[in-house]
């Protein structure tokens, strides 16, 4: 019996055949249908093929012990749909075309049933088929009717799957166009040495024309879902590193990449092409690392030329400490969820202080992200956090505006208007800041 609820037998189906509820999930339903019809008819293989880009391709196969040769073969799909082979062949030796096809002897196929899967407008989407290794003279129109019933049931799910794949292909094409056209811009946010009150570097942040004010994270998540993440990240990094030629030597540039992009080897071209000692690669802590050895191997030649590694969003995910210990980064960026309201939260203060001590003892530079108020900045400096970034210290801006801010660095930490906030500082706070 098939998994899940069982509905009444469909018209034309034999009473002893349990019939599946079509409301069940698509791929599981198709697999269960194949198994059920194969067993009921006493066949060795059941399959569904679909027409894709002018040719037939097997999509679902139930073939115990025969998966490898069957999955690599088109079987008779195209010939049945074009009317060159009949839907019922109880003995393939009786059909010259069938005997001329290599798959007939390689599987072998002694008997075959195959009926078209139809779309809503009667178009032929593929074939619902069964085969036996030996001829089966007992096969008749009754078995063919069973196949038609299951093909009708499968058609709904096949249509949905094909429509979903067309939509997926269109989404992927949109991303490919976005990447090819470079339809994104970069904003640069300053990273400060809080003690020296000067800008150390800038993080290059991607912005998309669709909504330049929104976070790009949803777009990068969609790119990852579509398998375009590496291509998009590399395009952004290439655009960012071009600015090193105009950015003053005293500043470093931070760019973001997922572990998957690094392991893919796509960043190997940076070696010898850019001054890597001025580049920081931020690895997001949210991305699970499947193979640390492979990641180390990919990073090693780049680090040997001076590339520094930063762990981004530390403290926001499930494996921060393991991630840090395993990767031995040069920089750790404290996530804004731990920075926000740190001035009023003893727990956040304790975590920031502990991370500051850890980084100091392991010779790692700690950067506090998301500093948005004077109070947060003042508290973090008091806790020993040496560097930071955030709206209070400068919003992401075009490169030239970011460079102008850097030239006014000392004033920006003292005068809030220059640091991107409209709040006025109390006189005693200014005095305290200037004295540090």
End-to-end alpha carbon distance in the chain: 77
Q: What is the CATH classification number for the domain harbouring 113?
A: 3.30.450.40
Residues 204 and 341 occupy one common structural domain: yes
Is the Cα dihedral 34, 39, 40, 41 positive or negative?
A: positive
Residues 375 and 235 occupy one common structural domain: yes
Mind listing the pLDDT tens digit for each residue in 121-131? 888 999 999 99
d(C-alpha 343, C-alpha 380), whole Å: 8
Residues 256 and 400 occupy one common structural domain: yes
According to the model, what pLDDT value does residue 410 have? 53
According to the model, what pLDDT value does residue 319 have? 53
Residues 98 and 187 occupy one common structural domain: no
According to the model, what pLDDT value does residue 294 have? 95
Q: Which is higher by pLDDT, 55 or 117?
A: 117
DSSP 395-418: --B-HHHHHHHHHTHHHHTT-GGG
According to the model, what pLDDT value does residue 317 have? 62
The pLDDT-based confidence of 287 (bands split at 50, 70, 90) is low
Mind listing the pLDDT tens digit for each residue in 226-255? 888 899 999 999 999 999 999 999 999 999
Residues 189 and 293 occupy one common structural domain: yes
Residues 373 and 265 occupy one common structural domain: yes
Q: Which is higher by pLDDT, 426 or 165?
A: 165
Q: Is the pLDDT of residue 1 over 50?
A: no
Residue 173 lies in a domain: no
Q: Is the pLDDT of residue 262 over 80?
A: yes
According to the model, what pLDDT value does residue 213 have? 58
How far apart, in Å, are the Cα atoms of 234 and each of 81, 213, 239? 44, 22, 9
Q: Is the pLDDT of residue 266 over 90?
A: yes
Residues 345 and 271 occupy one common structural domain: yes
Residues 311 and 251 occupy one common structural domain: yes
Mean pLDDT, residues 67-86 taken together = 80
Number of domains in the chain: 2
Residues 269 and 148 occupy one common structural domain: no
Cβ–Cβ under 8 Å, residues 188 and 252: no
Last residue within a domain, chosen from 168, 201, 230: 168
Q: Which is higher by pLDDT, 359 or 224?
A: 359
Q: Is the pLDDT of residue 67 over 60?
A: yes
Residues 160 and 199 occupy one common structural domain: no
Residue 367 lies in a domain: yes
Token reading at 189: 């946010």
Mind listing the pLDDT tens digit for each residue in 417-431? 444 443 433 333 333
Mean pLDDT, residues 23-28 taken together = 55
Residue 19 lies in a domain: yes
According to the model, what pLDDT value does residue 51 have? 87
Q: Is the pLDDT of residue 275 over 60?
A: yes
Residue 24 lies in a domain: yes
Mean pLDDT of the chain: 83
Specify the long-range contacts of residues 382-386, CB closer than 8 Å, at least 24 apart: 383/342, 383/349, 383/352, 383/353, 383/356, 384/353, 384/356, 384/357, 384/360, 385/194, 385/334, 385/352, 385/356, 386/193, 386/194, 386/195, 386/356
Q: Is the pLDDT of residue 3 over 60?
A: no
Residues 150 and 191 occupy one common structural domain: no
Q: What is the CATH classification number for the domain harbouring 266?
A: 3.20.20.450
Domain span holding position 212 = 182-434
Burial of 156 (0-12, 13-18, 19+ CB in 10 A): middle
């Amino acid at each position: 019996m098939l998994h899940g609820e069982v509905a009444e037998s469909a018209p034309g189906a034999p009473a002893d055949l349990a019939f599946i509820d079509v409301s069940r999930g698509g791929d599981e339903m198709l697999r269960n249908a194949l198994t059920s019809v194969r067993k009921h008819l006493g066949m060795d293989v059941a399959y569904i093929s679909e027409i894709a880009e002018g040719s037939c391709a097997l999509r679902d196969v139930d073939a115990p012990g025969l998966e490898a040769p069957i999955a690599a073969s088109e079987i008779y799909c195209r010939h049945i749909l074009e009317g060159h082979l009949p839907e019922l062949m109880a003995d393939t030796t009786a059909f010259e075309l069938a005997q001329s096809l290599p798959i007939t002897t390689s599987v072998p196929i002694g008997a075959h049933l195959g009926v078209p899967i139809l779309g809503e407008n009667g178009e032929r989407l593929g074939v619902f088929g069964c085969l036996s290794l030996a001829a089966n003279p007992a096969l008749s129109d009754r078995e063919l009717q069973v196949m038609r019933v299951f093909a009708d049931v499968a058609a709904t799910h096949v249509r949905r799957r094909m429509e979903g794949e067309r939509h997926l292909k269109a989404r992927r094409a949109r991303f490919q166009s976005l990447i090819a056209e470079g339809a994104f811009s970069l904003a640069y946010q300053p990273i400060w040495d809080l003690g020296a009150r000067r800008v150390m570097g800038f993080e290059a942040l991607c912005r998309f024309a669709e909504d330049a004010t929104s976070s790009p994270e949803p777009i990068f998540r969609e790119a990852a879902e579509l398998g375009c993440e590496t291509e998009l990240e590399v395009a952004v990094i290439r655009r960012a590193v071009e600015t090193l030629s105009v950015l003053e030597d005293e500043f470093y540039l931070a760019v973001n990449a997922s572990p998957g992009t690094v392991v893919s080897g796509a960043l190997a071209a940076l070696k010898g092409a850019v001054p890597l000692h001025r580049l920081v690669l931020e690895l997001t802590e949210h991305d699970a690392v499947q193979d640390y050895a492979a990641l180390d191997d990919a990073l090693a030649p780049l680090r040997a030329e001076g590339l520094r590694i930063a762990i981004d969003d530390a403290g926001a995910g499930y494996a921060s400490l393991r991630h840090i210990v395993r990767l031995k980064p040069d920089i750790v960026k404290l996530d804004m969820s731990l920075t926000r309201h740190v001035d009023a939260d003893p727990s956040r203060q304790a975590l920031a202080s502990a991370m500051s001590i850890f980084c100091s003892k392991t010779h790692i530079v700690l950067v506090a992200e998301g500093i948005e108020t004077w109070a947060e900045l003042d508290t973090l400096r008091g806790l020993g956090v040496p560097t930071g970034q955030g709206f209070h210290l400068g919003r992401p801006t075009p490169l030239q505006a970011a460079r102008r801010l850097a030239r006014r660095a000392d004033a920006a930490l003292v005068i809030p208007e220059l640091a991107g906030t409209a709040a006025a500082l109390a006189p005693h706070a200014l005095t305290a800041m200037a004295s540090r």
